[in-house]
């Protein structure tokens, strides 16, 4: 049963076709990866899925409704949440208040929203930082805050835009179980990620975007061995060279 | 309405528009490079006009002769203002810059009021009423001179930006502040130079306006909203835009006065300003979050 | 509501309300005009401080409130209290219309500031020209003291009314600041995209903010009209009020519950002192208090990014160390 389905999405900026007929599907409770080289159009595709951009062509269905023309806040009400690659904390607020902004979506009363925000903070490991100013957090802390705020909206689908980028290996190691726990609660996740170790580790299905087109999709092990994917990352002829290299070895 | 009358109104509008264009030029230059709206622009124009008037009253200096010393003085004044007041006080935040320039404009306008009271002053004499006959039209000589000088000033400014190293540094900072910094350009210096150039434009405008206009502590405000309209209309940061926009608004205002009467003219400027802001394609504004 | 934010404000207003027992008329006049500006500034603060949309044209709301009260009483014989209610409603409506036009056009930052200024000026010119607003000669509200006419024989009574209004808005602001609406306002101020992603309807939040802001500032205009019983376009829709409310908020701390009240009192206090000081030396000089206001604005932006109270607190902490 698919929770979100994007069909032949395209987005043109002037003469540039940033996303070109891309389709993807996120099943209920699934953890799907979206990978691709820099400039492939991943972030644009994310913006189309979350409503920050409207597609030039194609449609997006979410939870049984056509949401192609809906603004982001309406999609959030339906249960779609996203994080930003460049973290966007509300600088003037504490960690608790930041997360509460998300929690207010489902809990109009202050007491409930704060309680829910605190629970989410515990879950992502921000429990001890609740009273800190958001602006005072480290990069890793801000990434967790970004995650917590989105999670506080109690989404059915979480779109994660490079939550691991900029973290050191031990920070990455710490946050992977958090993502896994979220998924185990039944929240479907679509993640853009460059850290391949995490993608291989977490995702049950991966889509590969290059030059605005979906060039491959399948289980992570299969996709990363796909010559088209290797060429997209490493350049024309790379797959053949690697194959030749491993034949020698 | 006889066609000569309309032609004359158009010609007068073009001449008045040249002064608008100069005021708008300073504003658009500062906006294009510093990405701030200089709210003190009108008050600074008032200062320039008082300075030109003062030079005339004290030393009998002709406003056209006063252009050179005033341009130098105002460049220095503007440089200092941006470098040591507006820049440091704003901590690099656009909202703060707006507030600081608002504070400056309140201070300047009321300091002028305290010094000179609200009396309106003119150069006196009748040089302001000289006319030149061109075909069937009678045109004001000082305005004609103003038109010429305004065009020359715009050309000089363009040449400065396009052809000199200073101009290249200014354009570099306008496009990519951080990159320019890496190349050894000090953006604080460039910002101050740009602000100084904006003020120098005001000095020229003041000298050209003085023969046909009056001076009082609030005189700059009359121009600055028009200038804002022009800058939005002509494209924020665009020099040709300011020039063409200025001339266009001058003509519209002149024809509007002819067809609708003067009393509504003031209202018209504000309404046009609002409409221009509201109807402008949204992308231009959305781009700067 | 956070009692630490609200109680000092209520205590301050209680002290002000007690002052008529001891203070002279000069002091009472000072307090009256300060509290009118404080009330108007509380309105500005909801939009400019909490929602982060800097308005340079709050005179549009102040004037609408003042004219609504005056015109309804003079032309239509409406009761003054009903006039007050109508003024607040009209102020909110004007706010909503200006907001709907400019926020839909995605004006923000400098552009929003400029367009609000232009709206206020349009209203000023119209009020100065139209007949039913009394044109350039203005409007006089008939003197008839009595609670039912919202007029009081004693200044003290009017001061109590004003202090009550300011206290009410203080409580309202304190409540908003710690509930959903306040969180959404701050989210919109800090980052519109992030707010949107979390399900905040940014346009609707801004519209509510500007309508509420317009209503509160219009209330100040109504009370101004009832206190002075005279107004014209340059008073009601004049740039002075737009500027004073903005500076009061910046000085007192934008986006704080108490900021506008403290800022308005401080601003007027310093302005009066400046007039007195210079008056001793040079006789009355027009505009000198405004020169000081402008300087205060720049100094506050430069050195007191979170307002004068925060500055004092930091100073005290620094000295104690």
Domain presence at residue C159? yes
What b/e string do you get for C50-73 counting C-beta neighbours within 10 Å, with b at 16 or more? Answer: bbbbbbbbbbbbbbbbbbbbbbbb
How do the domains of chain A map onto residue ranges?
Answer: 1-79+155-219, 86-154
- Per-residue DSSP letter, B82: I
Domain presence at residue C225? yes
Domain presence at residue C315? no
Between B217 and C66, the more confident residue is: C66
The closest alpha carbon to A90, from B92, C255, C259, C183, belongs to C183
Size of interface B-C (CB pairs under 8 A): 128
Residue A216 phi/psi, 5-degree rounding, is -160, 160
pLDDT at A227: 85
C126 touches chain B (CB under 8 A): yes
What b/e string do you get for A62-72 counting C-beta neighbours within 10 Å, with b at 16 or more? Answer: beeeebbebbb
Q: What pTM was estimated for this model as a whole?
A: 0.91
Structural domain count, chain C: 1
Residues shown for chain A: 249
What's the pLDDT tens digit per position in B219-241?
Answer: 888 788 788 888 887 777 788 88
**C225–chain A nearest CA distance, Å:** 37
Q: How far is CA B282 from the centre of its chain?
A: 25
**DSSP-derived 3-state class of residue B35:** coil
Domain presence at residue C102? yes
The closest alpha carbon to B202, from B65, B5, B13, B47, belongs to B47
What's the pLDDT tens digit per position in A44-74?
Answer: 999 999 999 999 999 999 999 999 999 999 9
Show residues of chain C in contact with A153, CB under 8 Å: 198-199
Q: Quote the domain boundaries for residue C63.
A: 3-239
Domain presence at residue C297? no
Residue A83 phi/psi, 5-degree rounding, is -110, 165
Domains of chain B: 3-286 (1.10.3470)
C196 touches chain A (CB under 8 A): yes
CB contact under 8 A, A73 and C199: yes
Task: Record the tokens describing residue A158, joined without a space.
Answer: 């979480």
CA distance B35 to B37: 7
Q: Answer yes or no: are the C-beta atoms of C40 and C225 closer than 8 Å.
A: no
Query: How far is CA C274 from each of CA A242, B108, B166, B187, C63, rounded to the nearest angstrom?
Result: 81, 16, 43, 37, 27
What's the pLDDT tens digit per position in C216-255?
Answer: 999 999 999 999 999 999 999 999 999 999 999 999 999 9
Task: Record the tokens describing residue B147, joined without a space.
Answer: 């038109």
Show residues of chain B in contact with C103, CB under 8 Å: none
Size of interface A-C (CB pairs under 8 A): 74
- The pLDDT-based confidence of A182 (bands split at 50, 70, 90) is very high
Chain C touching partners, 3 or more CB pairs below 8 A: A, B
Task: Record the tokens describing residue B274, joined without a space.
Answer: 């609002």
Mutation target vs B (from C52, C104, C298; most B CBs, 10 A cutoff)? C298
Architecture of domain A1-79+155-219: 3-Layer(aba) Sandwich (3.40)
Place of tokens 């509460």: A100
**Partner residue facing C115 (CB), from B102, B109, B274:** B274
What's the pLDDT tens digit per position in C154-194?
Answer: 889 999 999 999 999 999 999 999 999 999 999 999 999 99
B138 bridge partner residues: B133
Segments of B108-251 assigned E as strands: 131-134, 137-140
Question: Is a pLDDT exceeding 60 seen at residue B282?
Answer: no
Average pLDDT on A11-39 reads 91
All residues at 6 or more sequence positions from A13 whose CB lies less than 8 Å from its CB, including other chains: none
What b/e string do you get for A113-123 counting C-beta neighbours within 10 Å, with b at 16 or more? Answer: bbebbbebbeb
Q: Answer yes or no: are the C-beta atoms of A156 and A164 closer than 8 Å.
A: no
Q: Answer yes or no: are the C-beta atoms of A87 and A146 closer than 8 Å.
A: yes
Q: Do chains B and A touch (3 or more CB pairs under 8 A)?
A: no
């Amino acid at each position: 049963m698919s929770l979100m389905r994007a069909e032949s999405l395209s987005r043109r900026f002037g003469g540039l076709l940033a996303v070109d007929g891309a389709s993807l599907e996120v099943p209920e409770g699934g953890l799907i990866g979206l990978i691709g080289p820099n400039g492939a159009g991943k972030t644009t595709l994310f913006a189309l899925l979350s409503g920050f951009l409207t597609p030039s062509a194609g449609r997006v269905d979410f939870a049984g409704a056509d949401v192609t023309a809906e603004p982001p806040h309406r999609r959030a009400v339906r249960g779609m949440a996203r994080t930003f690659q460049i973290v966007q904390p509300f600088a003037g607020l504490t960690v608790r208040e930041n997360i509460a902004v998300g929690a207010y979506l489902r809990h109009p009363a202050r007491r409930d929203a704060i309680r829910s925000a605190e629970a989410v903070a515990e879950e992502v490991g921000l429990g001890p930082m609740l009273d800190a100013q958001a602006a005072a957090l480290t990069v890793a802390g801000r990434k967790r805050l970004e995650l917590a705020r989105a999670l506080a909206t109690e989404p059915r689908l979480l779109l994660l835009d490079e939550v691991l980028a900029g973290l050191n290996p031990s920070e990455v190691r710490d946050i992977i179980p958090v993502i896994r726990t979220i998924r185990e609660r039944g929240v479907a996740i679509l993640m853009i990620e460059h850290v391949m170790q995490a993608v291989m580790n977490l995702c049950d299905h991966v889509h590969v975007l290059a030059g605005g087109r979906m060039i491959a999709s399948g289980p992570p092990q299969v996709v990363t061995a796909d010559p088209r994917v290797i060429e997209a990352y490493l350049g024309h002829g790379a797959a053949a060279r690697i194959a030749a290299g491993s034949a020698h070895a | 309405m006889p066609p000569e009358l309309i032609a004359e109104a158009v010609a007068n509008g073009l001449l008045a528009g040249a002064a608008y264009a100069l005021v708008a030029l300073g504003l658009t230059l500062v906006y294009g490079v510093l990405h701030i709206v200089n709210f003190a622009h009108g008050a600074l124009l008032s200062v320039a006009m008082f300075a030109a008037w003062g030079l005339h009253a004290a030393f009998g200096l002709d406003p056209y002769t006063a252009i050179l010393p005033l341009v130098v003085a105002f460049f220095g004044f503007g440089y200092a203002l941006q470098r040591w007041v507006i820049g440091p006080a704003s901590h690099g935040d656009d909202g703060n810059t707006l507030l600081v320039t608002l504070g400056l404009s309140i201070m300047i306008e009321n300091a002028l009021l305290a010094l000179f009271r609200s009396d309106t002053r003119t150069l006196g004499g009748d040089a302001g009423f000289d006319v030149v006959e061109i075909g069937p039209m009678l045109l004001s000589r000082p305005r004609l001179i103003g038109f010429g000088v305004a065009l020359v000033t715009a050309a000089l400014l363009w040449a400065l930006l396009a052809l000199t190293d200073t101009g290249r540094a200014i354009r570099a900072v306008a496009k990519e502040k951080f990159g320019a910094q890496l190349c050894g350009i000090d953006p604080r210096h460039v910002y101050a130079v740009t602000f100084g150039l904006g003020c120098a434009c005001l000095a020229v405008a003041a000298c050209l306006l003085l023969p046909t206009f009056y001076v009082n502590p609030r005189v700059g405000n009359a121009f600055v909203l028009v200038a804002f309209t022009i800058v939005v209309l002509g494209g924020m940061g665009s020099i040709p835009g300011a020039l063409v926009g200025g001339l266009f608004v001058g003509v519209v205002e002149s024809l509007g006065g002819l067809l609708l009467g003067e009393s509504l003219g003031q209202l018209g400027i504000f309404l046009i300003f609002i409409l221009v802001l509201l109807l402008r394609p949204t992308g231009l504004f959305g781009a700067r979050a | 509501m956070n009692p630490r934010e609200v109680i000092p404000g209520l205590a301050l207003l209680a002290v002000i309300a007690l002052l008529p027992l001891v203070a002279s008329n000069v002091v009472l006049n000072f307090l009256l005009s300060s509290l009118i500006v404080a009330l108007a500034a509380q309105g500005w603060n909801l939009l400019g401080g909490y929602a982060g949309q800097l308005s340079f044209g709050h005179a549009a709301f102040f004037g609408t409130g003042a004219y609504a009260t005056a015109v309804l009483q003079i032309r239509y014989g409406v009761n003054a209290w009903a006039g007050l209610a109508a003024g607040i409603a009209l102020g909110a409506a004007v706010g909503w219309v200006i907001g709907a036009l400019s926020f839909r056009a995605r004006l923000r930052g400098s552009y929003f500031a400029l367009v609000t200024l232009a709206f206020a000026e349009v209203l000023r010119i119209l009020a100065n020209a139209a007949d039913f607003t009394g044109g350039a000669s203005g409007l006089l509200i008939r003197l008839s003291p009595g609670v039912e006419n919202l007029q009081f024989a004693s200044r003290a009574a009017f001061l109590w009314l004003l202090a009550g209004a300011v206290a009410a808005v203080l409580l309202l602001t304190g409540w908003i600041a710690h509930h959903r609406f306040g969180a959404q306002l701050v989210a919109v101020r800090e980052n519109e995209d992030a707010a949107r992603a979390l399900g905040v309807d940014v346009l609707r939040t801004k519209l509510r903010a500007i309508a509420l802001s317009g209503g509160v500032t219009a209330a100040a205009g109504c009370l101004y009209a009832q206190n002075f019983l005279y107004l014209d376009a340059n008073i009601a829709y004049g740039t002075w009020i737009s500027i004073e409310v903005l500076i009061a908020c910046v000085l007192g701390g934008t986006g704080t519950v108490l900021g506008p009240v403290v800022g308005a009192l401080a601003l007027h206090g310093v302005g009066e002192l400046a007039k007195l000081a210079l008056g001793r030396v040079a006789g009355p000089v027009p505009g000198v208090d405004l020169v000081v206001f402008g300087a205060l604005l720049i100094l506050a932006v430069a050195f007191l990014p979170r307002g004068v109270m925060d500055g004092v607190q930091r100073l005290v902490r620094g000295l104690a160390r």
